[in-house]
Amino acid sequence: MNAPFGDLTEQIDYEFRDVSLVQRALNHRSARGRSNERLEFLGDAVLDTVISHELVQRFPHADEGVLSRLRAVLVRDASLAELAKGLNLGERIALGSGELKSGGARRDSILADAFEALLGAVFLDGGYASTEQVIHRVFAARLESLSLSDAAKDPKTELQEWLQGRGYALPEYELVSSAGPDHNREFVVRCSITHDEQSCEAIGSSRRAAEQAAARAVLQQLGEA
């Protein structure tokens, strides 16, 4: 494999036979040429399967809900983006001019998609066993540090289950505003529940973080947090 992808091969310990696959994996839809979206779709599915299998083996007595939350901790965008940064994928992703100007190479969603697309490329190039080995290598430290305490329900899940258990409508989340530079943006989200017309606003460094904070605030109003 030739530069600029040679050190990436060393990092994931996998040698591509078809270099065009990894090139496509790092080609965002805003750039020219075939995008990485199909590879991202494939990599996402393989990643879920490998991580699910690993969790079932590591936690033989955990129920489906706990396993699902543990998997979410490992494969959510923020986690995958951190892994992508460790592989310097942001410096390798081909982006259109608009995404380049807006800091797309630092955006969690773009980094996470590129990471999953890379796994999809490995799968097409070397099959399931090779992809499984790459995932085990890249996730080794995170898997070793994972514990059942990481499966604690997040505020959005707690609020949803509280409302569903009482036959109430699901909460609604509204993006109120976002401000600041792309690398340090703040999001304000409002969480509303309809059965007693309560709502709370909260700030977060991402929309997801703001939604979680707003859900936690509503739970506090309800006396459940």
Closest CA to 75 of 172, 5, 14, 150: 150
Q: What's the residue count for the chain? A: 225
Single out the catalytic residue among 40, 77, 113, 116.
Answer: 116
Is 10 a residue of the active site? no
64 contact partners, CB below 8 Å, separation of at least 6:
none
User: Which SS3 state, helix, strand or coil, does residue 59 take?
Assistant: coil
Is 44 a residue of the active site? yes
Single out the catalytic residue among 40, 44, 54, 108.
Answer: 44
| DSSP per position, 166-212 | TTPPPPEEEEEEEES-GGG-EEEEEEEETTTTEEEEEEESSHHHHHH
What residues are labeled active site? 44, 116
